[in-house]
Amino acid sequence: MNLTLKIWRQKNANDKGKMVDYKISDVSPDMSFLEMLDVLNEQLINEGDEPVAFDHDCREGICGMCSLYINGEAHGPDRGVTTCQLHMRMFKDGDTIFIEPFRAKAFPVIKDLVVDRGAFDRIQHAGGFISVNTSGNTIDANAIPVEKADADKAFEAATCIGCGACVASCKNSSAMLFVGAKVSQFALLPQGKVEATDRVLNMVKQMDEEGFGNCTNTGACEVECPKGISLENIARMNREYLTASLKG
Amino acid sequence: MSGILNSSIGRKFAMALSALFLMFFLLQHFSINLLSVTSPETFNEVSYFMGNNPLVQYGLQPVLLIGVLFHFIMGFVLEIKNRKARQISYAKNNGGANSTWMSRNMIWSGAAILLFMIFHFNDFWVPEIVEKYVEGKSQVGKDFYAHVVHMFENPIRVGVYVLAFVFLALHLLHGFDSAFQSVGANNKYTKGLKRFSKIYAIGIPVGFIIIALVHHFNH
């Protein structure tokens, strides 16, 4: 396949940045999207140009590092996959592909297509954990019975890899699907109930301080999420938050 | 509890509660309007009651006005905040791939409804308030039905009303079940609620349109 790529280039966080056109030839439909970018970068290096910076790590769809807004969608036009699992067979010969970084005030661009998603880490630090004694007296998690339905829902919520596609896809740059998943994975389990009030209050407070927008239930986040995290988690977070606000 | 309205979820909850209240009011407004087609006498009696009962006038009416104002103001405040959350737009954004037009354009359907409300208040509410509280006229025996029929004689006015109800339908198509999601109601009943929301979102505005057209073409 021969393709035209329109890629966001930005030298550093302070640079204004712009879309730049590149031509790439002989792209195999079996390549992953990131492999196609690897080929482009080799081409750029050989020509003495600066390669395109983009995030990646496991390339197996589980680490949440790869991002990219491809042809107007987070992780591209395929469903239930991250960019590293997106294959070039999703495109046609002669296509023009727009490649942009995830856009949100809370995700500032560091360079080219790399954004700082540290805001998610700070939200996790605010309450996305349970306090467990790990000094040798750790209690076996299986010692506390958990209803199967709750365990399944908690697991589904915990599959969120924190990639930020929800924020990138949301017209409001809202992080509520991410925070909803992180609140839900503990709210559904007995181990998480002990700190439930502080957890949801602190995580939502941090989310608001980071500058994410307000959720208006468009559902774009759920559609674009590579892990299929459900809007049900946002509703659960809303309930948890309202209950916690009344308590404390 | 004190800071709840300063949080994103608190504002969302308040927005949803005002929406649920307004949707309930809309159903009540529609039921009364329907009487203007089925029984003009009953319509006159109910209109007199609504316009002169102290509980409705001094209790429910202010709550409704505050609810309307809150919903509009909060809608615009949230829109401004949300736009600030993304300072650089995408060069290419395929919103249609993951969300409905209605959900992405609530601000525009809402703004159209706001313009209509100003027009509608000027048609019915302001003259009535002036008549009752400025001129001090009694409404005993007033023919509210004749006033409604007279207002819908003008085809331009009917056109404006029809267009406004189309925007109302677009707003409700996303707003109805969105309000339930915002208050945390997403459960086994959500599928059924979504089906009912479509019936409500299309049925009520179409009903209003039919009432306006009936009065226009019958007289």
CATH at B61: 1.20.1300.10
Domain count, chain A: 2
**Domain match, A66 and A128 both:** no
Pairing of strands A3-9, A96-100: parallel
Nearest Cβ partner of A224 from B82, B87, B98?
B98
- Single-letter code of the amino acid located at A133: N
Same domain, A141 and A49: no
Mean pLDDT, residues B125-143: 92
CATH of the domain at A63: 3.10.20.30
Q: Tens digits of per-residue pLDDT, A139-168? A: 787 889 999 999 999 999 999 999 999 999
More confident residue, B214 or A138: B214
Helix (H, G, I), strand (E, B) or coil at A111: strand
| pLDDT at residue B157, as a whole number | 97
Q: Is B140 part of a structural domain of the chain?
A: yes
Tell me, yes or no, whether A102 and A121 share the same domain. Answer: no
User: Same structural domain for residues A217 and A185?
Assistant: yes
Strand pairing partners for A5?
A: A22, A97
| Residue A139: predicted pLDDT | 79
- Distance from the first to the final alpha carbon of chain B: 55
Chain B: residue whose CA lies nearest to A106: B85
Long-range contacts of B54-61 (CB under 8 A, 24+ apart): none
Residue A109 to residue A34: CA distance in whole angstroms: 19
What integer pLDDT is reported at residue A132 of this predicted model? 84
- Is B42 an 8 Å CB contact of chain A? no
Q: How many Å apart are CA B209 and CA A55, to the nearest integer?
A: 53
Q: Which of A111, A138, A169 is the last residue of a domain?
A: A111
Q: Is residue B189 part of a domain?
A: yes
Q: Which of A77, A111, A145 is the last residue of a domain?
A: A111
Q: In the predicted model, what is the mean pLDDT of chain A?
A: 96
- Please report, for the domain that includes residue A167, its CATH number: 1.10.1060.10
Percent of chain B with pLDDT over 70: 99
* Contact criterion met (CB < 8 Å) for B1 and A234: no
Residues of B in contact with A157 (CB under 8 A): none
Same domain, residue pair A43 and A68: yes
pLDDT reported for residue A138: 78
Q: Where are the beta strands (DSSP E) in A95-165?
A: 96-100, 109-111, 114-115
Question: Cβ distance A83 to A53 under 8 Å?
Answer: no
User: What ipTM was reported for this prediction?
Assistant: 0.94
- Compute the average pLDDT of residues B206-218: 96
- B3 pLDDT band, cuts 50/70/90, is low
Say how many domains are in chain B: 1
A97 and A173 part of one domain: no
Mapping DSSP to helix (H, G, I), strand (E, B) and coil, where does residue A114 land?
strand
Domain that holds residue A9: 3-111
Residue A135, pLDDT score: 82
Has residue B80 been placed in a domain?
yes
- Say yes or no: A185 and A75 in one domain: no
- Output the pLDDT for position B6: 87
Return the SS3 of A12.
coil
Give the pLDDT score at B5.
Answer: 78
Claim to verify: residue A134 and residue A235 sit in the same structural domain: yes
DSSP state of A55: -
Angle separating helix axes B155-182 and B190-218, nearest 10 degrees: 170
Q: Which of B4, B82, B185 sits opposite A213 (nearest CB)?
A: B82
Give the tens place of pLDDT for each residue, B24-74: 999 999 999 999 999 999 999 999 999 999 999 999 999 999 999 999 999
Domain boundary among A111, A142, A174: A111
| DSSP secondary structure code for residue A49 in this structure | P
